[in-house]
Structure formats: C-alpha cells, structure tokens
Amino acid sequence: MRAGSVNSSSGGRAFPTRHPRRKSAAVRRKVQNPSGMATSPKIPAGYADVLARIARAAQAAGRDPRAVALVAVSKQQPWEAVAPVLAAGCRTFGENRVQEAMARWEGRAEGLTLHLIGPLQSNKAREAVAFFDVIETLDREKLAVALAAEIQRQGRTPRLYVQVNTGEEPQKAGVAPPEADAFIAACRETHGLAIEGLMCIPPAEEPPGPHFALLAAIAARNGLSRLSMGMSGDFETAIRFGATSVRVGSAVFGDRHAH
Ligand SMILES: *Cc1c(COP(=O)(O)O)cnc(C)c1O
C-alpha cells in the first residue's frame, strides 16, 4: 500500500484548526497525520530514480544537470500516485487534456508550473491560456491566431513551444519539419507570439536519436535554445541530444493503467 493512501481524499493535508493544543506545529501534525507525509515526505522511488538518472545523463553528456528540467507527466494518474511526488517537492507537472488538468489542479496550482503537452483545440485556447504556464503543442496557424487573441485579451502569457512532427506521422500532431521554419516565423512576425522552444514525440518504433537531432537542428537555426524532448523510454538519449526539459510519466508515477 502506498504511503498516504490511508488518508482521506484531502491527500493528507487536512490538519488545520481542530483542538489547537499547546504543542508545536510539528507535533500536532504528527498526531493528526500519522502517515507523516507532510512533515517527513518519503521521496517516491520512481521520482528519486528519474531525478538521479537525469543528473547522471546530463553529467555523462558534459552538461549541467540543472539545465535539464523534469516535467512530471501526471496525466491519467490517480491522485494517490501524484500526491507523494508533490509532497517530495516536485513543482512541475505535465497534463495532456485541458479539462482533466483543470479538474485535478484547480485550487492546487499555487506555486506549480503546469505544462499542456497534449493537442489543443483552438476553441479551448481561452481555458488553456488562463490555466497553463507552458503550452507545448502549438502546431498550426489557427491555434496561433486563437492563442494570440487570448494572450491579448487576458494579459496572461504562457510560455509557448512549437510541436514538430519529426517522424511526419499522419496520426500525430505537430508541424512537419519542412514547414517548421516558416511556421515559427509566422508565429513571431504575424501573430506576435514569443516562442520559447520546440517539442517532439518521436515515432514509437524508431530509434529516437535522429529525431532529437533533427529537433535540435531546427531549434538552432531558428535561434531557439529550449528543447522539450524525451519520455520514460528515451529521456537519457534526449538529454544527450540537448533536451532542456524531459516529459516523464510512467517512470515517475508507475504505469498509467495499473491502478
Ligand atoms: C504521456 C506523455 C508523456 C509521458 O509518457 P511516459 O512514457 O509515461 O513517460 C510525455 N509526453 C507526451 C506528449 C505525452 O503525451
């Protein structure tokens, strides 16, 4: 059984005002929160392991480990898998659906950095701009128009990544590599959007290295220094090819369908 799973749906954070005895806050917490999660969070094994592997991969590539950020992909994970990672200090999470993300994180998002890593419909641009700190899936003109309008209207500017479909897979989102330069230019010049970096999801059945290299080359020639690439199965390779953030789900939280 997971630590914390014996608690109520509050995730073990409900210890505010009942019977404030003359005890230190720490003692009070210990009494009312027998799992001890809030006072001495055990670092979940998957999370600790991924952090260590990121640091090792960066060092092996001669890079500063602090230059590679972990986006913990919490999509479709039960809260009892997410809560301990949050308690252990993770502050950056990735979600692939706007509504799901809002249902999960609304009211809990203070101090967190939330990334949208799934496809975005332009009719959801309003919610996405209002809710997310980073939108990684900008990949077409219509969406650029919608995001620009919402950024203007709301006065809130999420950081933006252009998604590139490096494998040119028909079922996958992302701008095709031959069109990437023109699309990035249009985002900047026509729509006035600041682009922070590029994102890709290589084809599942191919070695990812060439796709990461392609993304890095497109970024370099467009003056972009941030690369969101690498998932549970390939984030160390991505770091070798210059990833500045890796999006890791199952290696951090466990399998999405095992719960
Ligand atoms: C689900 C997802 C991830 C994380 O996948 P894992 O294999 O669980 O690490 C990363 N990026 C995107 C775009 C995803 O949809």
Q: Does residue 36 come out as left (phi exceeding 0), alpha (psi in the -120 to 50 range) or beta?
A: left
Name the nearest CA neighbour of 243 among 259, 231, 258: 231
Distance (Å, whole) CA 180 – CA 146: 19
Task: Give 254 Cα–ligand 1 centroid separation in angstroms.
Answer: 12
Is the CB of residue 105 less than 8 Å from the CB of residue 95?
Answer: yes
For a ligand 1 pocket test, name from 96, 97, 198, 215 the mutation site with the most ligand atoms within 8 angstroms of its C-beta. Answer: 96
pLDDT value for 107: 92
| CA 239 to chain CA mean position, Å | 16
Tokens for 165, please give them: 């479909």
User: Which residues contact ligand 1 via a Cβ below 6 A?
Assistant: 73, 75, 96, 117-118, 201, 231-233, 247-251
pLDDT score of 245: 98
Low-confidence ranges of the chain (pLDDT < 50): 1-37, 39, 258-259
Q: Which residues contact 32 (CB under 8 A, 6 or more apart)?
A: 15, 18
C-alpha–C-alpha distance, residues 28 and 16, integer Å: 10
* pLDDT tens-digit map of 50-67: 999 999 999 999 999 999
pLDDT at 42: 86
Among 121, 179, 125, 186, which Cα is nearest to 151's? 125
Give distance in angstroms: CA of 246 to centre of ligand 1.
Answer: 9
- Nearest by Cα to 184 from 127, 241, 224, 126: 224
Atom of ligand 1 nearest to the CA of 253: 8
Compute the distance from residue 14 Cα to the ligand 1 centre, in Å. 31
Ligand 1 atom index nearest CA of 96:
15
Count the neighbouring beta carbons within 10 Å of the beta carbon of residue 248. Answer: 26
- Give the list of residues 6+ apart from residue 72 with CB closer than 8 angstroms, or none: 47, 85, 90, 92, 93, 94, 248, 249, 252, 253
Residue 154's CB: how many other CB atoms inside 10 A? 12
